[in-house]
Amino acid sequence: MRRFRSILVHASLIGALMVTLAPGTATQVEVPGIDKPVVVVSGRITSDTTWEDQFYYVLRGAVFVQDGARLTIEPGTTIVGETATQGTLVIARGSRIIANGRRDAPIVFTSDQPVGERGRGDWGGLIINGRAPLNVSGGEGVGEGDTGVYGGDDPNDNSGILRYVRVEFAGIEFSPDNELNGIAFQGVGRGTVVDYVQVKANKDDGVEFFGGTADAKHLVLTSIADDSLDWTDGWVGRLQFVVAHQRGDDANNGIEADNSGDNNNLQPRSDPTIYNATFIGDPDNNEGSESDNGWVLREGTAATIRNFIVMGFKEWGINIDHTATVEQIRNGNLTLANGILFQNGLLPGFAHFDDDAAPFFAGSPTIRIADPGLIDPYNHENPNYRPRGAATLAGGQLAPATPPNDGFFEVTTYIGALSPDPAQDWTRGWTNFEQQ
């Protein structure tokens, strides 16, 4: 039997949060299976506000945290986006979100639909706008779905903290081919902390960086319907410890990486540095030929990517597009090394490398075609992305590359996002892999 609790939420309780309500107005909400008081949030947050774990929050429409305001979310708090109103949370340029969860009490943004009936695109997502540089005309952009202005001249801009945060079943479609990302980092600066974040079952990209300098560690991107990881417009951040696992019923690429579609050589050029990444497709899926490419690097992007695994994609493992991107390889600005590819190119006419990538990377002594020995990588409900041990590779063991000693990266002894040591499995205890 489905249990409902009906809560009368008074305007005096929600005060500045629900600014669209006149004084003394009340609203009644029904949420299945909820045993906490329910707070409906809409409109604009203009002053410092805290969302407490003793309440259950509903985003009604697009909720904007305005310039100068700070939204603090306590560990263990659940926030749902209202499907009927396309609930979305937007952190405006100049504001901050402090979502500092814990392993045993993650902060969860999810669907308002009952468990078992949730799906991709139930609500909007989380959009964070900052003042870091972009390569777009005028140095400023406007977010998809009219989610605000972003960009500026401060590479150290601080939009807050996302730590032990999950974003689930987001990416609502405003119009054909116009959906929101699970988390959009739009002109976000390196002063922002992003660590231990999962995006699950998003209708559009899982995480996308629109320019900026934002860094992130410990990302889990699962069952994304478009690209798990996307960047464009001159993003120059750093990533370490990334797991991306596509579900083949509806998926595109593990990475889609651009500099600029308007001019492939705009500056600043997209040029992230990425260490310890595991990207997994869905080779056994019989519902279609989705989960296309491991990585599509195009439109003039540069990058430094080390200690990676790309496996299980039905089309290309590594796909390089556009002359400007090939030039970045020739110039030494787009480099891939210390990586393992396995079970890619399963459809006729495809392989681990496309024709533009093969001359540079096929046969590289630091990129091997081999089974990385992951324990249960294709399981969507209860995956285990750890290797059983150091992979036995033709030509001898492949040593991991040592990352820059810059205070961000950690030195590891393994290829991929996870250590063979179960005690070091950072994906356990705070993630969730339920598909509905």
Domain locations in the chain as residue ranges: 1-212, 227-436
The highest-confidence range among 22-26, 230-234, 280-284, 397-401, by mean pLDDT, is 230-234
Cα 222 to Cα 248: distance, rounded to the nearest angstrom:
11
Task: Summarize the confidence of residues 49-53 as an average pLDDT.
Answer: 98
Task: Identify the band that residue 21 occupies on the pLDDT scale cut at 50, 70 and 90.
Answer: very low
At residue 142, φ and ψ (nearest 5 deg) are -120, 125
∠ CA(397), CA(402), CA(405), 5° rounding?
Answer: 170
How confident is the model over 138-163, as pLDDT tens digits?
999 999 888 999 999 999 999 999 99
pTM of this structure? 0.92
- Asked if 123 contacts 170 with a C-beta cutoff of 8 angstroms, the reply is yes
Task: Summarize the confidence of residues 61-73 as an average pLDDT.
Answer: 98
Is the bond preceding residue 377 a cis peptide, omega within 30 degrees? no
Cα 351 to Cα 317: distance, rounded to the nearest angstrom:
7
Task: Summarize the confidence of residues 215-223 as an average pLDDT.
Answer: 99
For the chain, the first-to-last Cα distance in angstroms comes to 18
